[in-house]
Amino acid sequence: MLSIQNLKASVEGKEILKGLNLEVKAGEVHAIMGPNGAGKSTLASVLTGKDNYEVTDGQALFEGKDLLDLSPEDRAREGVFLAFQYPVEIPGVSNINFLKTALNEIRAYKGQPNMEAKEFLKLLKEKQKLLEFDAALANRSLNEGFSGGEKKRNEIFQLAMLDPKLAILDETDSGLDIDALRVVSRGVNKLRSGKNAFIIITHYQRLLEYIVPDFVHVLYKGQIVKSGTKELALELEEKGYDWLKEDSKETEAADILLPR
């Protein structure tokens, strides 16, 4: 579904991604871990088309299409979704109105007619139930006055409503207490299917206990230096990132250990 080859990207003239490679197939959940400054958020920003990020080399194909050539809204319409690390507030725009607009934009892109109000409401209730999402939050302005946890949960709720092919979760666990973490994870797990894929960006192994990944990659200094399965996450938890920093010095030519 997603094929990233030798991706290099800079922000404000500074190169952050230095030749990143990643393959994500439908039905898979990939976790990306790494120390601060490794480029995790940069990866998310580059994939979603945020301004100020300049791609200097490499490519990213999404369902065979050149993802980096598309505008941010077209990437979203193609089925790429980002659960933001710091979701912004947009006062005065109701959650419901916003979701309906987004949904219909995506449908229009695919040549489908607008969703009827009745159908939309049905979908809304269905997903609220699925994610144990408080209906009251849906009626409020987009993220306005939401607590950190509520904002993160709202991101997952939007994910459920928009049903993307590829969902990138950017440190969704940061700022969540244990209960919220469990609820969010339950939700994400319910959304997993053979047709979609997830890239979960996180610092900590804890989230990965609830959302069990198929693959774990470690991003360090702009490259994926090690890949493995969920055991790798446990190893990192135990040993910290220094262990890999030692390792990477020997793999400067970026040999990637592909998952078995």
Partner 1 sequence: MSTDLDILKDVSTEEYKYGFTTNIEMDLAPIGLNEDTVRYISAKKNEPEWLLEWRLKAYRHFEKMEWPSWQNFEMPAMDLQSISFYAAPRKKAKYNSLDEVDPELLATFAKLGIPLTEQQMLAGVAVDAVFDSVSVATTFKGKLKEMGVIFCSFGEAVQEYPDLVKKYLGTVVPHTDNIFAALNAAVFSDGSFVYIPKGVRCPMELSTYFRINAENTGQFERTLIVADDESYVSYLEGCTAPMRDENQLHAAVVELIALENAEIKYSTVQNWYPGDKDGKGGIYNFVTKRGICRGANSKISWTQVETGSAITWKYPSVILRGDNSTGEFYSVALTKNKQIADTGTKMYHIGKNTRSRIISKGISAGHGQNSYRGLVQIGSGADQARNFTQCDSLLIGDECGAHTFPYIESKNNSAMVEHEATTSKIGEDQIFYLNQRGIDSEKAVALIVNGYAKEVLNQLPMEFAVEAQKLLAISLEGSVG
User: Based on CB atoms, which residue is closest to partner 1, 11 or 212?
Assistant: 11
- Span interacting with partner 1, options 4-12, 22-30, 43-51, 233-241, rule CB under 8 A: 43-51
Ramachandran angles phi, psi of 4, nearest 5°? -105, 125
Select the residue interacting with partner 1 from 34, 58, 87, 222 (CB under 8 A).
87
- In the block, tokens 């306005």 appear at 144
Q: Which of residues 170-189 bind partner 1 (CB under 8 A)?
A: none
Binding of partner 1 at residue 52 (CB under 8 A)? yes
Binding of partner 1 at residue 76 (CB under 8 A)? yes
What's the token pair of residue 259?
């998952």
Binding of partner 1 at residue 93 (CB under 8 A)? yes
Binding of partner 1 at residue 141 (CB under 8 A)? yes
**Helix 178-191 × helix 148-162 angle, to 10°:** 10
Helix (H) / strand (E) element for 95: namely: helix 95-109
- Report angle CA 146, 150, 154 to the nearest 5 degrees: 105
Binding of partner 1 at residue 49 (CB under 8 A)? yes
What's the token pair of residue 246?
């030692």
Binding of partner 1 at residue 198 (CB under 8 A)? no
Binding of partner 1 at residue 6 (CB under 8 A)? no
- Report angle CA 155, 161, 165 to the nearest 5 degrees: 85
Task: Give the shortest CB-98-to-partner 1 separation in angstroms.
Answer: 7
Task: Tell which residue, 47, 51, 54, 55, has the closest CA to residue 79.
Answer: 47
**Residue 86 identity (one-letter amino acid):** Y
What's the token pair of residue 211?
């959302």
Task: Give the integer Cα–Cα distance in Å for 33 and 237.
Answer: 11
- Span interacting with partner 1, options 22-30, 86-94, 126-134, 222-230, rule CB under 8 A: 86-94
- Span interacting with partner 1, options 27-35, 103-111, 221-229, 244-252, rule CB under 8 A: 103-111
Strands 53-62 and 65-66: antiparallel
Select the residue interacting with partner 1 from 13, 92, 111, 194 (CB under 8 A).
92
Which residues are near partner 1 by CB under 8 A?
48-52, 71-73, 75-77, 81-82, 84, 87-88, 90-94, 97-98, 101-102, 105-106, 109, 141-142, 158, 162
